[in-house]
Amino acid sequence: MAAADVPVELVQIFREETAEHLDGMDACLLAVEAGQASDQTTDALFRHAHSIKGGAGMVGLREAGAIANAIEDVLERARASGFLSPQLTEPLLRATDALRHAVAGEHGVALAVVQALAISASASAPPPQRAPPAANVTPTESGTPANGGAPLEGAPLEHQTVEPQHRAVEHRKAGGDAQKNDVTRFRSIRVAADSVDRVLDTVSETVLHHRRLEHMLDGAPCAADEAIEQEVDRGERLLNELQETVLELRMVPLSSITGPLPRAARDLAAAEGKQVDLEITGAETQLDRVLLDGMSEAINHLLRNAIAHGIEPPDVRERAGKPRRGSLELHAEPRGGQVAIEVRDDGGGVAPDALAEGVRRGSLVDVLAEAGFSTAEGVSEIAGRGVGLDAVKRQVESVGGSLAIDTEPGGGTSTTLLLPATLALLRVLVVKRGGQRFGLPLASVTEVIAVERVMVLGGRSSILVGEESLPLSDLAPVIGMVAPDLPELSRALVVEATNGRLAVACEEAIVEQEVVVQPLGRSLAGVSGYLGAAILGDGAVVLVLDPAYLVRRAPRASAAIRVGAAAALRARQAPKILVVDDQFTVRELQRSILRAAGYRVEVACDGREALDALGAKADFDIVVTDLQMPEMDGLALLGAIRADPDRSSLPVIVVTSRGSDEDRKRGAQAGADAYIVKDEFDQQALLEAVKRLVGAQ
Partner 1 sequence: MNGVKIRVRVGAEQYALPVEHVHEVVDLGELTPVPGAADSVLGLHNLNGEIVPAFDLARILRIEPDGHRSELDRSKIGQPRLLVTDCDGRRAALAVDEVIDVGPLAGTLQESESPHLLGSTVIDGSMVGVLAVDALFDSLASEDG
Judged by the rule CB under 8 A, the positions of this chain that interact with partner 1 are 205, 208, 436, 476, 479-482, 518, 520-530, 533-535, 539-543
- Helix-helix angle 387-398:289-305, to 10 degrees: 160
Least distance CB 55 / partner 1 (angstroms)? 37
Do the Cβ atoms of 476 and 505 come closer than 8 Å?
Answer: no
In this structure, is the dihedral angle defined by the CA atoms of residues 604, 608, 611 and 617, taken in order, positive or negative?
Answer: negative
Q: What pairs with residue 419 in β-bridges?
A: 339
For 515, the enclosing helix (H) or strand (E) is strand 508-515
Are 423 and 337 in contact by the 8 Å Cβ rule? The answer is: no
CA distance 516 to 428: 10
Q: How far apart are CA 566 and CA 601, in angstroms?
A: 21
* Nearest CB to partner 1, comparing residues 122 and 202: 202
Pairing relation of β-strands 276-281 and 326-335? parallel
User: How remote is the C-alpha of 471 from its chain's centroid?
Assistant: 24
Tell me which residue of 436, 470, 450, 448 sits closest to 545, measured CA to CA.
436
Alpha-carbon dihedral sign for residues 498, 499, 502, 505: negative
Complex with partner 1: residue 201 or 468, whichever CB lies closer: 201
Residue 310's Cβ-count burial label (10 Å; 0-12, 13-18, 19+) is: buried
Nearest distance in Å: CB 36, partner 1: 50
Q: Is residue 125 within 8 Å of 142, Cβ to Cβ?
A: no
Which of residues 368 and 515 has its CB atom nearest to partner 1 in the complex? 515
Handedness of CA 227, 232, 237, 239 (dihedral sign): positive
Q: Smallest distance from the beta carbon of 60 to partner 1, in angstroms?
A: 36
- Least distance to partner 1, CB of residue 541, Å: 4
Q: Is the Cβ–Cβ distance between 62 and 56 less than 8 Å?
A: yes
Distance CA 689, CA 695 (A): 10
CB 536 within 8 A of CB 515: yes
Cβ at position 475, least distance to partner 1 in Å: 9
Neighbours of 545 (CB within 10 A): 27
Strand order of the β-sheet with 622-626 is 600-604, 576-580, 622-626, 652-656, 674-677
In three state form, how does the secondary structure of 151-186 look?
CCCCHHHHHHCCHHHHHHHHCCCCCCCCCCHHHHHH
Cβ nearer to partner 1, comparing 31 with 481: 481
How near is the Cβ of 231 to partner 1 at its closest, in Å? 24
User: Edge-to-edge strands of the sheet including 460-465?
Assistant: 445-450, 491-497, 500-506, 468-474, 460-465, 454-457
